A and B are shown apart, each in its own frame.
Chain A
Amino acid sequence: AQKVTQAQTEISVVEKEDVTLDCVYETRDTTYYLFWYKQPPSGELVFLIRRNSFDEQNEISGRYSWNFQKSTSSFNFTITASQVVDSAVYFCALSDSNTGNQFYFGTGTSLTVIP
């Protein structure tokens, strides 16, 4: 079975604070892919990052960074020095061959950055 858990339903931070969004996944497959998407108030779903199961190297892109740890089945997302424009719902997703390569999404974390 595949499952993506985003335990944090809502988070509020004050601008310039750092914030980490948690994502825990379950899969029996050894080859799988993890994704993060952003859904701003305008409603579109914007792709942020993809990570495959063989690459545990952390990644940094500007103020965004991702920490992939297979030992804990986690793929957490950190925003450094948050800005009001970061306010959105963030989704973690999983795809593996057992699912027919479909994308399974977590329930999302709603982030509000307070100016």
Chain B
Amino acid sequence: DAGVIQSPRHEVTEMGQEVTLRCKPISGHNSLFWYRQTMMRGLELLIYFNNNVPIDDSGMPEDRFSAKMPNASFSTLKIQPSEPRDSAVYFCASTNSRGFTEAFFGQGTRLTVV
């Protein structure tokens, strides 16, 4: 299996622009997580899907952030409009149960908003 695939690996964008991060979970996994990692706040859970349904989005920082999972093999995290404080590494992870097995992480997207 190719593992969790995230794209792009790096994104540099100007403040105010829309940014879309993409994730393909491991085939057969039914739970998907979006995390944000910064030096100041560490690893933060943004949103969690189970069977393509958002279960908890309380970690989404504000309305500028949105996430979708239209099918079992694809998810997006969108930031519109982006701000410099959104600069971080965004990780997607998937697991084949509701958390009682380990989550496998993608390689992350390093987002820089200038």
Q: What residues make up the interface of A, taking CB atoms closer than 8 Å to B?
A: 33, 35, 37, 43-47, 50, 52, 91, 95-96, 99-108
Contact B42 A107 (CB under 8 A): yes
Given A35-B102, A43-B107, A102-B33, do A108 and B45 touch, yes or no (CB 8 Å)? no
Task: Given A44-B108, A102-B33, verify A108-B99 contact (CB < 8 Å).
Answer: no
Interface contact A91-B43, CB-CB below 8 Å: yes
User: What size tier do the contact residues of chain B reach?
Assistant: 20 to 34
Across chains A and B, the number of contacting residue pairs, with CB separation under 8 Å, is 57
User: Which of chain B's residues has its CB closest to A52's CB?
Assistant: B100
CB atoms of B107 and A95 under 8 A apart: no
Decide: B108 and A102 in contact? CB cutoff 8 A.
Answer: no
Query: Are the C-beta atoms of B45 and A45 separated by less than 8 Å?
Result: no
The prevalent SS among residues of B at the interface is strand
Q: Are A103 and B107 in contact (CB under 8 A)?
A: no
Q: Chain B residues near A44 (CB, 8 Å)?
A: 105, 107-108
Nearest CB in chain A: distance from B82 CB, A: 21
Contact in complex: A103, B45 (CB < 8 Å) = yes
Please name all residues of chain B whose beta carbon is closer than 8 Å to the beta carbon of A100 when the two chains form the complex. Answer: 48, 55-56, 98-99
Q: Is the CB of A105 within 8 A of B99?
A: no
Asked if B89 is at the interface of the complex by the 8 Å CB criterion, the answer is: yes
A12 to chain B, nearest CB (A): 19
Report B75-114 CB contacts with A as 1/0, cut-off 8 Å.
Answer: 0000000000000010101000111111111011010000
A50 near B101 with CB under 8 A, answer: yes
- Asked if A105 and B42 make an inter-chain contact with CB atoms under 8 angstroms apart, the answer reads yes
